[in-house]
Amino acid sequence: MTDYPRPPYPEQQQAMPGNTDAMKPRPDHGETSYVGSGRLAGKCAIITGGDSGIGRAVAIAYAREGADLLISYLSEEEEDARETQKWVEAAGRKTVLMPGDISSAQHCRAIIEKAVEALGGIDILVNNAAHQASFEALGDISDREWERTFAVNIHAMFYLSKAAAPHLEDGGVIINTSSINADQPNAHLLAYATTKGAIQNFTMGLAQMLADKNIRVNCVAPGPVWTPLIPSTMPPEAVKSFGGNTPIGRAAQPRELAPPYVMLASDEASYMSGATVPVTGGRPFM
């Protein structure tokens, strides 16, 4: 199916971090369309931000490909996390829910320890969770907001990757979520866009550092994707026209992001490391 909704979208605003059920139209995470083929059979994966949006779509796809999962999410997103758990378990896979704030190094280490204990190991780490907020002027960005964005978007990747690496055996995988903003920064998302550029660099450097252990590190760079982050962090006019600036003419549905994450986690990508897979609706990416 490619007949997805196009802007203008209905007028809507939510409080951060947003809720899937309140979105109009409701995002498609592949609930009724994604069909697995056993490409991740027997694997154990951690997905941060796995409660909604891209994270939920990846969780559904991974489960249908045969993986057991630990889903990391903010405590305020419990309702969305339970919905993701329902779809994973409907695929016959195990789900461990881990609420908490990944800006804490201690909590990041606890996520890894919980996955090892409850799933029996880790094969795949998907660093997907992100924080963003829109600001018109530089002076509107508080020190706390700048620090919060870096703590969630890039510091947590370091904490999680460092803690996971000793448990990732030969063939282990780390997948980071970057953004088109790493290449074409949106001025109103200055802090967020800056972290996405850092993620790109982190991915390429970490891939080299872990290559001798045969641990592959790659990232996916989405363009505009219709997730709760959008109505909860962007002004009404930006939400209404969201994704209309792409050649395809619309925002991606989360379902459309899942296949690259599956490919990068599978043996099909055995010679890919340090790479970025852009999924941008036709917008150029370096």
> Who contacts 205 (Cβ-Cβ below 8 Å, separation ≥6)?
none
What does the pLDDT profile of the chain (286 residues) look like in tens digits?
578 999 999 999 999 999 999 999 999 999 999 999 999 999 999 999 999 999 999 999 999 999 999 999 999 999 999 999 999 999 999 999 999 999 999 999 999 999 999 999 999 999 999 999 999 999 999 999 999 999 999 999 999 999 999 999 999 999 999 999 999 999 999 999 999 999 999 999 999 999 999 999 999 999 999 999 999 999 999 999 999 999 999 999 999 999 999 999 999 999 999 999 999 999 999 7
Q: What is the pLDDT at residue 1?
A: 54
Question: Three-state SS across 217-262?
Answer: EEEEEECCECCCHHHHHCCHHHHHCCCCCCCCCCCECHHHCHHHHH
pTM over cut 0.75: yes
Annotated catalytic residue: which of 34, 73, 159, 192?
Answer: 192
CATH code of 32-277, in short, is 3.40.50.720
Structure tokens of 190? Answer: 């200055």
Active site residue 192: yes
CA 149 to chain centroid: 15
